[in-house]
Each structure stands twice: as structure tokens, then as C-alpha cells.
Amino acid sequence: MEAIDPSTGARIETYEEHTESDVTEALDRATEAFDDWRARSIRDREQLLAAAGEVLRENKREYAETITREMGKPVTQSLSEVEKCARVCDHYAEHASAYLDSDPHPSPPGSTVRTEYEPLGAVLAVMPWNFPFWQVFRFAAPYLAAGNVGLLKHASNVPGCALAIEDVFREAGCPEGVFQSLLIPSDLVDDVIADDRVRAATLTGSGPAGRSVAATAGDHLKKTVLELGGSDPFVVLDDADVETAAETGAWARNLNGGQSCIAAKRFVVHTDVYDDFLDAFVDEIDSLAVGDPMDEETEVGPQAREDLMVELHEQVAESVDAGATIVTGGEPLDREGIFYPPTVLTDVPEGCPADSEETFGPVATVYEVADEDEAVDKANDTNFGLGASVWTEDRDRGERVAGRIDAGCVYVNQLVKSDPRVPFGGVKDSGYGRELSEVGITEFVNRKTVWVE
């Protein structure tokens, strides 16, 4: 596996892929580690998670620079990502015991009945490159706290991140085999899922990848959690604070180079404020600093890979051919590295790529709608259902509209984000299951009924 700096095209380092024999040994280590790990007190596991948070904080600059070199996000955003990983470790270090405490149930006189939450075993995580630390810790912190052990198949363009995360848990004091990174190609994933030593799998990624993992896991009766992307609507109603919505919207679309499943992608704007919003939105987007991701002033770095930028530009070009209008951006930048400018499209025809597909890069589509009902219809006019954002000065109205949008989460007067304190996941083609909070930690456990007479 080669790690390539997308800002320059230079090779950073070459890593040896793990062989099938290496994978077999890793699975043996995971099985052996699980027997000890599950028997530890949950307080011991919480303390090791807290230690992992400290390791992250102590080395955050080093980890942030690894993220930036391998996938290109601005280093300030990489630092924020590492800090967020430390926070999720803190969260489960503090709350795992309460989340996993047994639940009593009504029972006949003289008996007690309760539900115990017991770990399943080794959980395989197939994770993407866009948030190469956060996506992993979002899975690892709760599942390790619950007593499972983790196997990471990371994206092939971030192998340095994969090994660095393994080192975090090792330095925190976790026993060998509790968390391991597998540097393997995608065509070995099915074999790992099928192996009896693996008890469950989770994936964040594309729809085809999710369907493949789910199909293999289903064949072997293993549970999965899938987060498969989104095309999140950003609804601006006629009573919204337009300037604030435009400023937040520009950031919500272009954070992480626009390469985020929960990025605002479709801006659905009431006709009464459409012109004002569009003008303010474009001004905000044009003001974003695009450049060297190691520069602290940079706000938008390169795209992660050349093939991804080519695909994104094809979506834009096909949409323009279908009748969409480019307001700003729309062409790869003529400079070293894989840079695509923040782009805004209007007059977007129904069914064109920018309308019907997920655009995984800094491309925003802006729609004009006549009223609240049309705004809701347009927000729901997608196969995805991950997140949504609604902007209005009337909080009651915002809650009412939020209730009509088909999504795993809706934020009123705020951009969509994941937070350790609340469940995260989607509906429709955005996947199933939930990560984070109490719900997330109990996804991969045996809810065992214990009846004592």
C-alpha cells in the first residue's frame, strides 16, 4: 500500500500488505485477547479508554499531520478530529458503566429478572479515509468498552493512520490483540467476515461496499451496522437568519474538502429569501482559503485522490450539460495537487447527477422552493436519509419541519454533526443501526435475559 500526499502527488511511504497468514494470526490473537478482555471489569476497560484519550492529546500534532499528509484535509481540521477522538474516549470512560448496567424487569414474587449486556467477540470495522481517525474511534471506543475486541480494515490510502491508531491503544496499555489493524485489500474482507472468529461487522462507506458486507454477514448470520453516506438537505425557510445560514452553510458544505457523509449538499431555499441567501452564500464560499493543507490559514485542501476528483467533476459536467448553472467554481484548479474549488450550482434539473447522486466533494446545489411544503418535499426527494438542517427564527416551526424530514438526525439552526452523547446513523440508503451514545454501545452485545427463581 502506498500513501500519497494529495497536495503534491508525492509518495509518502510504502507499506507491506498483510498476507492471509498474517490475517489468520491476527484473528487468533483477537480470539485469545477476547477471553481476557471480556473478563476484565468494565472499570478497567474505562480506565484504558481514558488512557487512550490522553495518548491522543499528547501526540495530537503528530497524528494530525499524518491525517493531513495522507488524505489532505487542512491540518487545523485534523487537529480538531484528533481532539474529538479523545472526547469520545472520555465519554465512554465516564459513561460505559451506566450504559451497560443490567436492566431489571417485573417478575413473580421470589424471583428476579434482568437483562445483562455481554460482548460478542471480535468486531470487524471497514472504515473510510475521509475522517481516518474519528470514524475508527467512533466504533472502537464504545465497542471496546463493552468488552469486544476490534479489527480494523482501513481505507488503502491511509495506512499510516491505521497503524497509528493501533499504536494509540497499545500505548494506552490495552493487551495485545484487543485492537488490530489489518492492511489488506478489499477482496479479503469477505473472508474475514465469514471467519467464525469474527462475530460482527460495521462499515462506513459507499452503498455497494455496504451491500457487499451486509450480504456476506447475512450469509453467516452476523450482525452489521452500516453508515452509507448521504445527500443532506439544508433547508432555509422564509423567516431564517439569512446571513447566519449562509455563513454556516458554506462551512457545512466545504468542511473536510466537502468529503463528508453529513455535509450539507442540497440547499433548499424559500423563494422569499432565495436571492439574498444565494448572494451571501456565494460570497462566503468565494472567501474560503484553498491551498496547502499544512498552512494554518488554509480552509479547503486538496481532494483525497485523483480518481475521486475526476468522478466529482464528471458529476458537475453532466449536470451542467443537463441544464444546471455554475455560479462559482466548477473546474479543477490548475496547480500542483488534487484541488477542486468550492462550487455552487443552481437551476439543477431533476434527475441529473448533482440532484440525484451524492457529490462527495465541495459542490453545493441550491434550489428555490415556493413554500414550506415544497421545501419538505425537496428535502425528502432523495434515496438517502442521513441528516438534515433546518433554518428558521421560529423554534416551534423548526421542530415541526424537522419531524417531517426523513433522516436519522435533523438539526435546527445548526449544521449536522456527530456527537458522542447522541445516536448517529441513517435511514433508507444511508444505512441502518446506530453509533455513539447508549444506543451505539449496545449494538454489538448479547442482551441476555437472566431469570433467577
Angle in degrees, CA 155, 3, 132, rounded to 5: 40
User: In this predicted structure, what is the pLDDT of residue 438?
Assistant: 97
Q: Do both 73 and 111 map to the same domain?
A: yes
- Whether residue 417 is contained in a domain is answered as no
Q: How far apart are CA 417 and CA 72, in angstroms?
A: 20
Q: With contact defined as beta carbons under 8 Å apart, do 96 and 146 qualify?
A: yes
Q: How far apart are CA 145 and CA 46, in angstroms?
A: 6
* Average of per-residue pLDDT across 180-198: 97
User: In this predicted structure, what is the pLDDT of residue 363?
Assistant: 98
State pLDDT tens for residues 306-350: 999 999 999 999 999 999 999 999 999 999 999 999 999 999 999
Q: Do both 192 and 134 map to the same domain?
A: yes
Q: Do both 274 and 361 map to the same domain?
A: yes
Q: Do both 291 and 400 map to the same domain?
A: yes
Determine phi and psi for 139, rounding to 5 degrees.
Answer: -85, -45
Q: Is 17 labeled as catalytic in the residue annotation?
A: no
Query: Which of the residues 85, 89, 174, 261 is marked catalytic?
Result: 261
Determine phi and psi for 297, rounding to 5 degrees.
Answer: -85, -15
Helix (H) or strand (E) holding 4: strand 2-4
Determine phi and psi for 183, rounding to 5 degrees.
Answer: -85, 85
Q: Do both 162 and 269 map to the same domain?
A: no
- Whether residue 422 is contained in a domain is answered as no
* Average of per-residue pLDDT across 179-190: 97
Q: 86 vs 28, 37, 58, 151, 228, CA distance in Å?
A: 29, 21, 10, 20, 24
Report the SS3 class of residue 372.
Answer: helix
Q: How far apart are CA 62 and CA 79, in angstroms?
A: 9
Q: Do both 325 and 217 map to the same domain?
A: no
State pLDDT tens for residues 271-289: 999 999 999 999 999 999 9
Q: Is 227 labeled as catalytic in the residue annotation?
A: yes
Q: Do both 58 and 178 map to the same domain?
A: yes
Query: Which of the residues 81, 227, 357, 368 is marked catalytic?
Result: 227
- Whether residue 179 is contained in a domain is answered as yes
Q: Do both 73 and 213 map to the same domain?
A: yes
Q: With contact defined as beta carbons under 8 Å apart, do 30 and 149 qualify?
A: yes
CATH number at residue 341: 3.40.309.10
- Whether residue 147 is contained in a domain is answered as yes
* Average of per-residue pLDDT across 184-210: 97
Q: Do both 335 and 202 map to the same domain?
A: no
Instruction: Tell me how many domains the chain contains.
Output: 2
Q: Do both 41 and 86 map to the same domain?
A: yes
- Whether residue 419 is contained in a domain is answered as no
Other C-beta atoms closer than 10 Å to the C-beta of 274 total 19
Q: Do both 189 and 251 map to the same domain?
A: no
Q: How far apart are CA 58 and CA 68, in angstroms?
A: 18
CATH number at residue 191: 3.40.605.10
Q: With contact defined as beta carbons under 8 Å apart, do 125 and 139 qualify?
A: yes
Instruction: Enter the pTM of the model.
Output: 0.97
- Whether residue 375 is contained in a domain is answered as yes
- Whether residue 118 is contained in a domain is answered as yes
- Whether residue 276 is contained in a domain is answered as yes
Q: With contact defined as beta carbons under 8 Å apart, do 74 and 299 qualify?
A: yes
Q: Do both 214 and 248 map to the same domain?
A: no
Pairing of strands 122-126, 343-346: unpaired
State pLDDT tens for residues 72-115: 999 999 999 999 999 999 999 999 999 999 999 999 999 999 99
Domain boundaries, position 134: 2-228+428-452
Listed in order, strand segments (DSSP E) in 112-231 are: 112-119, 122-126, 149-153, 179-181, 198-204, 223-227
Other C-beta atoms closer than 10 Å to the C-beta of 292 total 18
The chain-wide mean pLDDT, for the chain, equals 98
Q: 45 vs 10, 93, 120, CA distance in Å?
A: 40, 8, 16
